[in-house]
Structure 1
Amino acid sequence: MTSGPPRVLVDATSVPADRGGVGRYVDGLLGALGKVIGSEVELAVVGLRTDAERYTRMLPAAEVVAAPAAVAHRPARLAWEQTGLPLLAQQVGADVLHSPFYTCPLRAGCPVTVTVHDATFFTEPEHYDKSRRTFFRSAIKTSLRRAHRVIVPSKATRDELIRLLDADPTRVDVAYHGVDPTAFHPPTADEKARVAARLGLAGTSYVAFLGAKEPRKNVPSLIRGWVKAVHDRPNPPALVIAGGQGHDDDIDRAVAEVPGHLRLLRPGYLRYADLPGFLGGALVAAYPSFGEGFGLPILEAMACAVPVLTTPRLSLPEVGGDAVAYTSEDPAQIAVDLAALLDDEPRRMALAKAGVDRAKEFTWESSAEVHIAAWQRARA
C-alpha cells in the first residue's frame, strides 16, 4: 500500500459560470482541502480558463491547470473528459482522479471517484425532459459500474442508489455538503435593507425562494400556495422567486394566475454578497421540492437565520431535522402551512435560531475528510 497523502486531480471543468449547486460544492470542498494540502492530500485542479486564476489564488499550494477553451461547451467537455482528462491525470502524476458531477472517464489510467448528487432522475423521472433524464441515468449507471468509489451527499441518496440500481454499499461514501459561514450568515439590518431596497421591497415583507426553476423544485405549487395563504391579508407579503432561469413552463402559468393586488418578483440571479440579506430578510424561505439529493438551499437559508418551510422528501429531513417546518408538495397544504408560519412569530423565531445552530453541524471541513478517506481507499 502506498504511504503518504494521495495526490488527487479534481476535475472542476463542470462548474457552471453561475456557481449554482455544483459550484458551491466544488468551491466549498476545494477551500477545505486547501487547508490540509501537504499533510493529508496533494492536490491538482483543472478548471475552465475563467476559473483557473481564481483557483490559483484560492489554492496557492495546489497545481492548477486551465482546460482547453473549447471545454466551456458541454459536448466538447464530455469528449475531452474521455481523452484529455486521463492524459492530464498522467501528466500531473495523480494517484486518484475525482469527478465531481456524475460523469467520469471510462479509462482514466488511475483510480476514479465520482460524486453522484442525487437519484431523482430515477425516483422523480417525470420532472426531467427526456434527453436530460436519459443522459444522467446513463451517467449514473456508468459511474456506479466504473468508479472505484462513489461519493454521495446524503444517506437518502446512497439508499436510493442501492435500492434502485443495486449499488455496492461498500463502495459508496456519504459526504454531507457544508455551508460557508462567511458567505451565509445571519445578516445585519444594513444587509437586509440593502437587498430590500435593490428589489424595491423597502418596508414590505416577503417570502423567499432561491434556486433553479426546474419542475422538481415545485415552484408553481409554491406560487399557488402563497396566493391562497396571503390573498385576504391586509398587508400580504410578497413572494420573491430568485435564481436562474429554468425549463418549467408551468411557472409562467402560475404567475399569470396571481391576483393584481399581490406582488410576485422574479429578479433572476442575485449577487452572491446579497444572499444573506435576501434570505435572512424574509419572513419564511419556502422550498417545497419533490425531492433533493441534499438540499443545499435549505441549509444556506438556515445559516442565514430564516425559518424554512420544506418537504420531508428524500434527503431534506437529513438536512433540516427538527430545525425546519414541513409541508407537502400540494398547493392547498402549502397554503395552510405557510399561513400557519406567517401567523406564528414565536415559532418563526424559534425555527430561525434552531436553523442557525443546526447549520453549524454541516462543514466543508467534515466533507473534505470523507473525500480524503474515499481517495485513500480508492488508491489502495
Structure 2
Amino acid sequence: MTPGRPPRVLVDATSVPADRGGVGRYVDGLLGALAALDADLAVVCQRTDAERYGRLLSGARIMAAPAAAAHRPARLAWEQTGLPMLAQQVGAQVLHSPFYTCPLRAGCPVTVTVHDATFFTEPEHYDKSRRTFFRSAIKTSLRRASRVIVPSKATRDELIRLLDADPTRIDVAYHGVDSDAFHAPSEDEKARVRARLGLGTTEYIAFLGAKEPRKNVPSLIRGWISAVRDRPDPPALVIAGGQGHDDEIDGALSEVPSHLRLLRPGYLRYADLPGFLGGAVVAAYPSFGEGFGLPILEAMACGAPVLTTPRLSLPEVGGDAVAYTGPGTDEIARDLAALLDDNERRTALAKAGAARAKEFTWESSAEVHLAAWARAAGPRM
C-alpha cells in the first residue's frame, strides 16, 4: 500500500434488495459518503444496481455479479467462489461483506457487518430455518473476519455477552440518515401522501417496516384499537412496507372495529416517505429489539414524534427525543393514548427528534468503516 493512502476495498453489494430496505439504505448511504471521502473502492452488485452505483461512485470500479446471483442460494454459492476471485482481480486489500455472511477463504482480509444479535436475543421471533442460518453466519463471521462492524453498542455488547466475541475486533459504526431523502416535509408533500392513501383530513399513526414478528405489529394494531376506539375523531393506522411473514397480523386485523380505518398500502414510493412519516400524528415502532433502528431515525429526521420501545439499541438512537412504551398491547394503548392527548409533548418530541437525527451522518459511519479497513489491511508498507 502507498503510505497515507487507504486500502483498496471491494464492497460486496449483491445482498442489497430491490426494495432498498434497511440493508439497501445502509449500503447506499455508506457508499455515497465513502465516495465523498475519496475512498479507493470497487463495488460488485446486482445487475439492476450497476447503473445506480455507477452514478453514485464515479471514481469506483463497478461490476455486476452473475445474473444467477439475484437468487439467494446462487448468491451464497458465488460468494464462496466467485467473490474471492473478483477480489484478486481488482487487487483488493480488504473485502467488505455488508450483510452477515462472508467467504471462508477470500485471499485478503475480510470485514463483515453484523447488523444485530436478535437471532440470539429474540429467537422466538424467527422461524427455525432463518434463525439457524443467521446464527451460523454470525458465528462464522465472528470467527473468520479480521474486523466486525456493528451499528450500535448494544449489538456489540450482545455479541460479546452471548458469543464471547473479541471486543478488540469489533467496531461500532452508527448508521446515518440521508437528509435530502428524509426531511421535514412541506404541506404539499404531506397532502400528496394523504391523497394517495385516501385519508383526506383524517389524522393517522404511521408504521413503516417489514411485517416480521420482531416488529410487533399485532400488538401495535391492538394497542391502537384500544387507544382510539372511543375517540370522536379516531386517527387511522397506516402500516406501510413489505409483507413479511408475521402470521399473527391477520388475527389482529380481524379485531379492528368497522368505524376505525387501518390501511396497508405496501411499499410507498421513496419520494413519499418524508410526507408519510412527517405527516403522521405519531410514528409508532414498538419493536421487540433492533440492531440499530433506522426507521425511528428516519421518522425523527422527518419531524415525526416517535413512540418506540427501550429495547436493545433503540435508546441509543432515540435518546430523550422519543417517547417510550413497552411491547405489550396494554402498554402501547396507554402510552399511545397519552401521546395523542398531549399536543405540546408531540411538538417538543418532533423538534427534539429532528435535531438529534442530525447527529447521525453517513460521513461519520464512513470514517469508522475506513478506519476498520485500515486496521484489517495491516501496517502501511
Q: TM-score range by the shorter chain?
A: over 0.9
In structure 2, distance between residues paired with 1:216 and 1:307:
22
- Asked if residue 184 in structure 1 is aligned to residue 182 in structure 2, the reply is yes
In structure 1, distance between residues paired with 2:171 and 2:37:
20
Q: Aligned-pair distance for 1:36?
A: 1.5
Corresponding residue number in structure 1 for 2:30: 29
Q: Aligned-pair distance for 1:5?
A: 1.6
**Number of residue pairs the alignment of both structures matches:** 377
In structure 2, distance between residues paired with 1:201 and 1:348:
21
In structure 2, distance between residues paired with 1:36 and 1:370:
12
- Asked if residue 81 in structure 1 is aligned to residue 79 in structure 2, the reply is yes
Structure 2 residue runs without a partner (length 5+):
none
Aligned pairs for 1:1-380 (under 5 A) are 3=3, 4-37=5-38, 41-380=39-378
In structure 2, distance between residues paired with 1:53 and 1:338:
43
For each residue in 1:264-286, what CA deviation from the matched residue of structure 2 results, as whole angstroms up to 9, or x when unmatched? 00000000000000000000000
For each residue in 1:211-261, what CA deviation from the matched residue of structure 2 results, as whole angstroms up to 9, or x when unmatched? 000000000000000000001000000000000011001011100110000
For each residue in 1:5-61, what CA deviation from the matched residue of structure 2 results, as whole angstroms up to 9, or x when unmatched? 210000000000001000000000000001122xxx200000000001110111110
Q: Which amino acid aligns with 1:64?
A: I
Q: Which amino acid aligns with 1:302?
A: M
**Helix, strand or coil: the match of 1:34?**
helix
**Helix, strand or coil: the match of 2:206?**
strand
Q: Aligned-pair distance for 1:2?
A: 6.0
Q: Which amino acid aligns with 1:15?
A: V
Q: Which amino acid aligns with 2:31?
A: L
What is the TM-score when the length of structure 1 is the normalising length?
A: 0.99
In structure 1, distance between residues paired with 2:183 and 2:100:
30
In structure 2, distance between residues paired with 1:108 and 1:237:
53
In structure 1, distance between residues paired with 2:6 and 2:359:
26
Aligned identity (percent) is 84
For each residue in 1:294-351, what CA deviation from the matched residue of structure 2 results, as whole angstroms up to 9, or x when unmatched? 0000000000000000000000000000000000000001000000000000000000
For each residue in 1:49-86, what CA deviation from the matched residue of structure 2 results, as whole angstroms up to 9, or x when unmatched? 00011101111100000110000000000000000000
In structure 2, distance between residues paired with 1:328 and 1:115:
29
Q: Aligned-pair distance for 1:164?
A: 0.1
Q: Which runs of 4+ in 1 moved over 3 A?
A: none
In structure 1, distance between residues paired with 2:308 and 2:58:
39
In structure 2, distance between residues paired with 1:300 and 1:140:
27
What is the TM-score when the length of structure 2 is the normalising length?
A: 0.98
